[in-house]
A and B are shown apart, each in its own frame.
Chain A
Amino acid sequence: MSGTFVIRFILIQNRAGKTRLAKWYMQFDDDEKQKLIEEVHAVVTVRDAKHTNFVEFRNFKIIYRRYAGLYFCICVDVTDNNLAYLEGIHNFVEVLNEYFHNVCELDLVFNFYKVYTVVDEMFLAGEIRETSQTKVLKQLLMLQSLE
């Protein structure tokens, strides 16, 4: 189970369980990935606003946050700081919002590769890499200009 920093994977799913982003920082085979996606969906969508944003999940825990119809989930070690990753998710969503100018689910669908770029700019190898929104956005614009 080794081979990564604390983040095991990042998932964005909608309420129906459609994957909008799946970034794996741990090696799983394809079947396992699908299984995980389904399990996360099952665990997360049954929870509502009165619940905490943390769920224990296998040997890990999932820190998630719901924005409109989308669930942003990060799977980390049990010992890790829940609040920090919760803030990390929010930070990520704010960057997406800025980058896509009022992001909506369809933006993520049609530009899924850009979303991966955003993830890669903010997280790397399972670790939070950049937290400054301005820096990330600047970098993203640079990358876009290369297209």
Chain B
Amino acid sequence: MALKIVKGSIDRMFDKNLQDLVRGIRNHKEDEAKYISTCIDEIKQELKQDNIAVKANAVCKLTYLQMLGYDVSWAAFNIVEVMSSSKFTYKRIGYLAASQCFHENTDVIMLTTNQIRKDLSSPNQYDTGVALTGLSCFVTPDLARDLANDIMTLMSHTKPYIRKKAVLIMYKVFLKYPESLRPAFPRLKEKLEDPDPGVQSAAVNVICELARRNPKNYLSLAPLFFKLMTSSTNNWVLIKIIKLFGALTPLEPRLGKKLIEPLTNLIHSTSAMSLLYECVNTVIAVLISLSSGMPNHSASIQLCVQKLRILIEDSDQNLKYLGLLAMSKILKTHPKSVQSHKDLILQCLDDKDESIRLRALDLLYGMVSKKNLMEIVKKLMIHVDKAEGTTYRDELLTKIIDICSQSNYQYITNFEWYISILVELTRLEGTRHGHLIASQMLDVAIRVKAIRAFAVAQMATLLDNAHLLTGNMQRNGICEVLYAAAWICGEFSEHLENPVQTLEAMLRPKVATLPGHIQAVYVQNAAKLFATILKNQEGNTDSTAAQETSQLMIDRLPLFVQSANLEVQERASCILQLVKYIQKLQQKDVEVAEEVSALFAGELNPVAPKAQKKVPVPEGLDLDAWINEPPSESESEDEQPKAIFTKEEPKHSRPRHTEVDEKELARRREARKQEQANNPFYIKASPSSQKVYQETPGVEHIPVVQIDLSVPLKVPGLPMSDQYVKLEEERRQKERAEKKKKEKKKRKEKRSGRGKKHDSGPESEEDITPAHVVDIVTEEMPENALPSDDDDKDPNDPHKALDIDLDNLLETTARRPLADSEKLPVRSHRAAGAPKSPAEDGEAENATPQEPKKKSSKEKRDKKKDKERDRKKSKEEKKKKKHKHEEKEEDLLGGQAEEPVVQSEETKEVEAQPTSTSAEVSDLDFWLSNAPVPSNTQEAATVAAAEAAPVPEAPAGTAADSEPDEPKDTETEESKSSKHKKKKQKKEKEEKEKKKKKKHHHHHHHSDGGGEESVQNGTVEEEEPLPPMSNYCLLAENSYIKMVCDIQGNLQDGSQVVVSVIFENKSDSFLKSMEFNVLDSLNSKLQRPEGSGPHDGLTVPFQLPPGVSNEARFVFTVQSIVMPQKLKGTLTFIVKNEDSSTHEKLDFKLHFTCTSYLITTPCYSDAFAKLLESGDLKSSSVRLEGVNMPFHHLLARICFHHHFSVVERIDSCASMYSRSIQGHHVCLLVKTSGQTVSIDAKCDEPTLLGNVLDEIKQTFSQC
């Protein structure tokens, strides 16, 4: 041994430490990879040693290598070893490595659970801290589930350092294990008022983050956050809260009104830019949510815009950027306020930073009006010319088009101007957006009839100068516009001044270098042009002109007939033959023009993009119905459910297919494939095919004349858009003058002396009349088109997925009261791999029948609460208005600190039942209606009045008793006992806090009230809500300590039972040295650590500060499980006060019922039937009288308290199943009629069965 140590330390001397490694890497810059691979080999050697110091050093080096991008996942197990070192230095290295290298799929994480738990509960806060930090990085759903309870306990740690960490990590736990949210939420909420500001801000962070993802569930916390906002001075916290309010206001406009004032105050007062920015953002969000223009908020808008202007004018680029960003949000609702800062925003277009320019562009988009469109676009065009870098220029181009085309060309008054802008844009070098320009040209030409003549003239010029666009094949993005040009010239050829010239331009040999789809359009439209020309020329006496045109076609078309593009080739050869035929007729002097132009007669109207989708299904047409009978011979389809038929319906609906059998189909498919493979013209995939054709050597051989592009691109005939700006200016001036004249005239005529109402001030939007009367053809839609527009949603939005996830998290869980099954799993008694089918076992998890409770002071409290709850309930039902008044006073008197907490719990829980929601939320309503906003107060007040909230009054703890006794309905009676149980569990978690509070406030009933309330609105099931249940039952209690326990079998070990005991310190003193001891019986023994005697107690692994509770588990070995048994035990502990410490003890009796040996096991009905048929089981039965509860409650109770699962349920009859830890099958058949329930049971062990049935009977007799 000693030798080993010596050897180890000698080895170490030669080991590289981290510094050596880093230096080594720096010295081996050339062969880094090689050097590192030798290092890794060394590290592997080091990891094989027993010396933990060597290992830790190795792991540390590995972590460094991991950071550099090397794979170290092979060392995961060694990392775990180092993590579990008892020395903090090594432990920290281990955890660091784990947090950097581990991820959800790392296998060894499973091994760490116990180590982490140990570290979490370590007396050394740094161990705990390091474990928490590590956990935050590699927490998995399994770890989250197993450790949730431990972390939750740490949220009440004495050290704020740990509390803070624990609170933050809870968020991670929620995400990985959503079931933990509800049990942990009350405590999390308490942390909002933690004495330590750091913990407070951590809690704010977590809740804000939860709320941001799912605001509506947290609306009720608004008053609490409001208070925090007005009291906190921590900017980080303020930012978080204000951001949260930004998310909440859209849901509750009244909240927004309340916020405006404090936020504007903050805007005025704060010097922190980050906070200012957040305030401005939230004010904007608020103002957006108050959609209906509130006149008195224009001041706030002005304030925001002013502040943003200051940001934008700042020399700091960051502020400039953010200012623009926020400005664009205001723009959406208050464009006028932003438009006055146009100058500033246009300046930003000159900024050096592209992201600022882009922001400014975004803003400009929203700022245009009829009046300034031309001016803005002119500025943008200047920037297009100046712009360096194609990306920014392309961005400018798309923005120009966006700006002009927005809202159906709403702001364009002169389309000639727009066409010329588009034509100017075609001169952009290297743009990717040729297609966009082309589609704009087409759209305008088709839809604005008045502009066609002009457009055609422009397009003809473009075609004429096509070489300018196509000169460089590199830039062929832009040649897309030729597609549009050719089509427009062809389609609207009647407007062409010189069609022959255009035709000639379209048939130039150079056209053959264009992409195929453009050539195809050229050829087709050449034919259209040809038809027009014929028509024009036929009237002439001289027919030679017409024949020349035909000859031109015949001469040029063969070039296209040879095209490699199938489409071009086909069209060209078709048209060529046609023209040849026409030529023949012309030579015979036959008039053909009419017939030729008939080929292209009729007008094409634009069709809306979604038109096809919106065609309504005609009445009487059932798309899902079979047209022919489904084929019966295909056996696979026979077995499939119907849904599959409907999916494949289109295939089968064709009778042709149904007649052909599979073999025939396969044969044909094969043949078709063969055919396609052999057909050189079959296009397999469109994108690649095109490329291939362009790269064919044939294309390269075609001589391409390169054009020097430094030549100024002003082509005679192409208009300059600037001219239009000038013209427009003049036109408007003229119009204005005319208007003035008219007005003067009018005034003169009328002489009514209405004053200067029509003052010719700055002209408004409406005054500008479009230059031409433009008829914008709307896109065609089918008749009776369906109005729905749901197809705009993006199903791929990543946040949507996130949203749903949390929706589930909150909606399925957060509104229900805590059911026992939701309690956080604690320590190891969760049988790993135990088959559980949640669908079947519902609420059921683990249960022990209730031990007759030791009635104590606690019961009194319970009673009081029951009453209080009853009172509440009846209030709800009757909506007693008299209470409302009291409540109002309560609210006004303050207590805001407490109140909101309660409200939230209530509202949240009650929301599950829509009927009572309004009543519960009204408290929030009341808080909100307090806002000093005149416009809505009345409404809010009436709402508040109508929905008087049945909130349990804080100081009414005693008053509750004096309330007239309300008739208790049966439901309440029933759930009472369950409430006892339930409350216990809840209390364990809450009571200590409550007690603390009790001394200072008497508000504690609030939280109880919240919990109570929920009882009535329990789990939302398909029928009636289930009352919540708990299996923790009181073990023993004295003035110092209370113990409650839950007993469960251990599936993995047929002879073990795990007892989870929650110890709660009820006193003001510190409890320590707790020892738990049980007098073993022959049958059951407490498992003690090796080496201890059979009568030694077990040390409870923690101490209890005042008011704190914690849970410990004890394992018992049991031989026979057929009989229930009781074990006597004692808990000894030391009570330590400041000045004294005393020994105390508490006796208890552990009751192992037979149900504690049962384990919820799902069972399928067929297996169940087999089991019953096997005949191995003995039967027994029991009748329960006077059971007054819904059947599903009854089943849930059996499931829950006795660990059964429902196999099958038919009306008022259900079969249930469970298994003991030693493998006995227990089958129940439960029937109900009226108030009588009969249970027939079978089990392979009659004694066990008898006892279980007795226990079930007892459970229900307590109801």
Closest 7 CB pairs of A and B: A83-B274, A125-B136, A50-B352, A84-B274, A52-B321, A52-B317, A2-B802
Q: Does B19 contact A (CB under 8 A)?
A: yes
Which of A5, A113, A139 is within 8 Å of B63, CB to CB?
A113
Chain B hits for A116, CB < 8 A: 96, 100
Binds A, one of B68-76, B833-841, B979-987: B68-76
Q: Is the CB of B71 within 8 A of A52?
A: no
Which residues 184-221 of B sit at the A interface, judged by CB distance below 8 A?
Answer: 198, 202, 205-206, 209
Chain A hits for B352, CB < 8 A: 50-51
Q: Is the CB of A51 within 8 A of B353?
A: yes
User: Interface 1/0s, chain B 528-555, versus A by CB < 8 A?
Assistant: 0000000000000000000000000000
A130 and B239 CA atoms in complex are apart in Å by: 15
A54 and B322 CA atoms in complex are apart in Å by: 10
Binds A, one of B171-179, B252-260, B755-763: B171-179
Also in contact, A127 and B209, with CB within 8 A (given A52-B355, A146-B88): yes
A126 to chain B, nearest CB (A): 8
Also in contact, A112 and B278, with CB within 8 A (given A52-B356, A84-B239, A147-B89): no
Q: Does B232 contact A (CB under 8 A)?
A: no
Chain A interface secondary structure, helix, strand, loop or mixed? mixed
A56 and B353 CA atoms in complex are apart in Å by: 13
Q: Does A42 contact B (CB under 8 A)?
A: no
Q: Is the CB of B172 within 8 A of A52?
A: no
A56 and B172 CA atoms in complex are apart in Å by: 26
Chain A hits for B527, CB < 8 A: none
Q: Does A137 contact B (CB under 8 A)?
A: no
A59 to chain B, nearest CB (A): 6
Chain B hits for A125, CB < 8 A: 136-137, 168-169, 171-172
User: Interface 1/0s, chain A 126-147, versus B by CB < 8 A?
Assistant: 0111111001000100110011
B3 to chain A, nearest CB (A): 29
A51 and B359 CA atoms in complex are apart in Å by: 13
Q: Is the CB of B67 within 8 A of A83?
A: no
B389 to chain A, nearest CB (A): 12
B282 to chain A, nearest CB (A): 11
Chain B hits for A2, CB < 8 A: 175, 801-802, 805-806
Chain B hits for A1, CB < 8 A: 798-799, 801-802
Q: Is the CB of B169 within 8 A of A124?
A: yes
Chain A hits for B198, CB < 8 A: 129-130, 132, 135
B72 to chain A, nearest CB (A): 9
B1118 to chain A, nearest CB (A): 42
Interface size classification for chain A = 35 or more
Q: Which residue of chain A has its CB nearest to the CB of B89?
A: A147
B260 to chain A, nearest CB (A): 20
A127 and B239 CA atoms in complex are apart in Å by: 13
Which residues 230-246 of B sit at the A interface, judged by CB distance below 8 A?
Answer: 234-236, 239, 243
B117 to chain A, nearest CB (A): 19
Chain B: residues with Cβ within 8 Å of the partner, total of 62
A interface vs B, CB < 8 Å? 1-6, 18-19, 21-22, 24-25, 27-30, 33-34, 37, 50-56, 59, 80-84, 86-87, 109-110, 112-113, 116-117, 120, 124-125, 127-132, 135, 139, 142-143, 146-147
B409 to chain A, nearest CB (A): 30
A87 and B19 CA atoms in complex are apart in Å by: 32
Give me 29 A-to-B residue pairs in the complex whose CB atoms sit less than 8 angstroms apart, sorted by A's number: A1-B801, A1-B802, A2-B802, A5-B168, A6-B209, A21-B67, A22-B67, A24-B100, A24-B137, A28-B103, A30-B73, A50-B352, A51-B317, A52-B317, A54-B355, A80-B243, A81-B274, A82-B277, A83-B322, A86-B318, A109-B22, A110-B18, A110-B19, A113-B63, A113-B92, A125-B137, A127-B205, A128-B205, A130-B198
Chain B hits for A131, CB < 8 A: 234, 236
Q: Does B64 contact A (CB under 8 A)?
A: yes
Q: Does B1148 contact A (CB under 8 A)?
A: no
User: Interface 1/0s, chain B 87-108, versus A by CB < 8 A?
Assistant: 0110011001000100110000
Q: Does B54 contact A (CB under 8 A)?
A: no
Also in contact, A19 and B69, with CB within 8 A (given A1-B802, A87-B274, A113-B63): yes
A98 to chain B, nearest CB (A): 19
A121 to chain B, nearest CB (A): 9
B315 to chain A, nearest CB (A): 11
Q: Which residue of chain A has its CB nearest to the CB of B246?
A: A79
B855 to chain A, nearest CB (A): 45
B1091 to chain A, nearest CB (A): 31
Q: Is the CB of A84 within 8 A of B169?
A: no
Which of A34, A54, A130, A143 is within 8 Å of B126, CB to CB?
A143
Also in contact, A83 and B798, with CB within 8 A (given A50-B352, A124-B169, A146-B88): no
Q: Is the CB of B202 within 8 A of A129?
A: yes
B419 to chain A, nearest CB (A): 34
